[in-house]
Amino acid sequence: MKTYKLAIAGGGSTYTPGIIRSLMERLEDLPLSEIRFYDIDGERQSKVVIAAKAVISEYTDKIVIVDTTDPETAFTDADFVFAQMRVGKYKMRELDEKIPLSHDVVGQETCGPGGLAYGLRTISPMVELIDFVEQYAKETCWIVNYSNPASIVAEAVRKLRPKARVLNICDMPVATMRNMSAILGVNREDLVVDYFGLNHFGWFTKVEVYGVDRLPELREHIHKHGLLTEDISKIDYRHADASWIKTFKNIKLIMDFFPEYIPNPYLQYYLLPDLIVETSNKEYTRANEVMNGREKTLFETVKQYEETGVLSDQFHVGVHGIFIVDVTVSLAKNLGKRYLVMVENNGTIPNLPDDAMVEVPCLINADGPAPEYVGDIPYFYKAMIDQQLASEKILVEAITEGSYEKALQAFTLNKTLPSSKVAKAVLDDLIEANKAYWPELKSKYRDGVLIHS
């Protein structure tokens, strides 16, 4: 029986034990001989690995487990690499959220200026990871990437490492489908959806169950309740706390204005930015919620396990772990299963640029994702996507060229920022906060005059 060697880059993530449980429940589909945990923070990772080992021991004692900070050890002969890096950890996420909010601008980790800041931190480490994998892993190795902000990371990889075997994924569409299926009283796997857009910036245009269009039914429900069941216990634990409940409720407001398609929940930051800022606690953001919730619980659970030998039922299977394992099984077994992932457009949506990294339905086989043809999209959605796409593409140019002007252009184009004046103020504060992470951004102009080198 063929077995696989898997490396998890960002092994110190709070999501790691949940992913491990998902892998263990699919061992018949994806038999593993080794799991290597790789992180630049070895101390943090070692604590998470304690929990991961405990989960693995419930299923098998035949998997070699490696805990390392050395890329050669982590990636040599690997078949798959899961990437889930959080550059700067939650300390920097908190600044990504609170600095924009101090200027009355959306503060969010992947959208708006916080997402642009996170992108500027993540691009270089992602490229470094690709280079390590290409140096040490098998030539057939796939990197399955969860690292955020996924849309910006995908664009950077497309431009800087165009031949890399990277499959960029996000679990937000899957989580949205989970809510849809709960509302409709069916299994998520029964849904057949069509979708177009960029990551965290797209729309569901079809929701079918056994060939029957259920989108009208969902519209009616969302108009009353948002994208929530009346019993919120059916929501995945990762999306069940207060901020996520508010997010799914806000889909009602968006669809009251634009009822044609069901929006990705993250579109609230672009279509309702004033409401988001008005209802945000500038002193206690989502980062604080996570640090005092999921992260705190993880390390308390590890400590309890070390003291008692009993692992609490904290690491259950959610859509985050299920989805990354699903796409990996389809890659490994050449199954051609249909999932929403990110790919280079190349005519999939003819009225968007070929080099846009779009999120669309794809068939996942051993050679990677094969996108389904979407066709032209209506002008309203195209115009919004063009603006967001330009912001993300110019940001990647800013980091590759070390250009302050291009960073400011990227911030100014982002729909969450109301003016270039505000964009500059937010950018300058984020530059100060990210000195340890961003490359130096230099200006070509002083007082409106070109500086000659």
**Given this model, what pLDDT does residue 242 score?**
82
The alpha carbon of residue 443 and the mean position of all alpha carbons in its chain are separated, in whole angstroms, by 31
Distance CA 228, CA 247 (A): 10
Tokens of 20: 């491990």
pLDDT in tens, 318-342: 899 999 999 999 999 999 999 999 9
**Given this model, what pLDDT does residue 309 score?**
82
Q: What is the CA radius of gyration of the chain?
A: 21
Backbone angles phi, psi at 7, to 5 degrees: -115, 140
pLDDT in tens, 233-250: 656 545 567 889 999 999
Distance CA 106, CA 270 (A): 9
Active-site positions read 171, 266
pLDDT in tens, 430-446: 999 999 999 999 998 87
How confident is residue 450, by pLDDT bands cut at 50, 70 and 90? low
pLDDT in tens, 127-169: 999 999 999 999 999 999 999 999 999 999 999 999 999 999 9
**Given this model, what pLDDT does residue 433 score?**
98
Rounded average pLDDT over 183-194 = 96
**Given this model, what pLDDT does residue 94 score?**
98
What is the pairing mode between strands 262-263 and 201-209? antiparallel
Distance CA 266, CA 289 (A): 18
Distance CA 235, CA 238 (A): 8
Three-state SS annotation for the chain: CCCEEEEEECCCCCCHHHHHHHHHHCCCCCCEEEEEEECCCHHHHHHHHHHHHHHHHCCCCCCEEEEECCHHHHHCCCCEEEECCCCCHHHHHHHHHHHHHHCCCCCCCCCHHHHHHHHHHHHHHHHHHHHHHHHHCCCCCEEEECCCCHHHHHHHHHHHCCCCCEEECCCHHHHHHHHHHHHHCCCHHHEEEEEEEECCEEEEEEEEECCEECHHHHHHHHHHHCCCCCCHHHCCHHHCCHHHHHHHHHHHHHHHHCCCCEECHHHHHHHCHHHHHHCCCCCCCHHHHHHHHHHHHHHHHHHHHHHHCCCCCCCCCCHHHHHHHHHHHHHHHCCCEEEEEEEECCCCCCCCCCCCEEEEEEEEECCEEEECCCCCCCHHHHHHHHHHHHHHHHHHHHHHHCEHHHHHHHHHHCCCCCCHHHHHHHHHHHHHHCCCCCCCCECCEECCEECCC
In whole numbers, what is the pLDDT of the chain averaged over residues? 94
Rounded average pLDDT over 361-385 = 98
Closest to 273 (Cα-Cα) out of 129, 100, 450: 100
How confident is residue 343, by pLDDT bands cut at 50, 70 and 90? very high
pLDDT in tens, 249-306: 999 999 999 999 999 999 999 999 999 999 999 999 999 999 999 899 889 988 888 8
Residue 149, exposed/middle/buried by CB under 10 A (0-12, 13-18, 19+)? Answer: buried
- Asked if the model's pLDDT at residue 118 lies above 80, the reply is yes
Distance CA 235, CA 244 (A): 10
| % of the chain with per-residue pLDDT over 90 | 89
How confident is residue 99, by pLDDT bands cut at 50, 70 and 90? very high
Q: Does domain 4-168 have CATH number 3.40.50.720?
A: yes
Closest to 5 (Cα-Cα) out of 99, 91, 73: 73
Question: Is the distance from CB of 102 to CB of 282 less than 8 angstroms?
Answer: yes
| % of the chain with per-residue pLDDT over 70 | 96
- Asked if the model's pLDDT at residue 407 lies above 50, the reply is yes
Report pTM.
0.95
**Given this model, what pLDDT does residue 239 score?**
55
pLDDT in tens, 28-37: 999 999 999 9
pLDDT in tens, 63-87: 999 999 999 999 999 999 999 999 9
**Given this model, what pLDDT does residue 232 score?**
67
Backbone angles phi, psi at 447, to 5 degrees: 55, 40
How confident is residue 453, by pLDDT bands cut at 50, 70 and 90? very low
Distance CA 389, CA 181 (A): 30
> What residue segments make up the domains of the chain, in order of their start?
4-168
How confident is residue 230, by pLDDT bands cut at 50, 70 and 90? confident
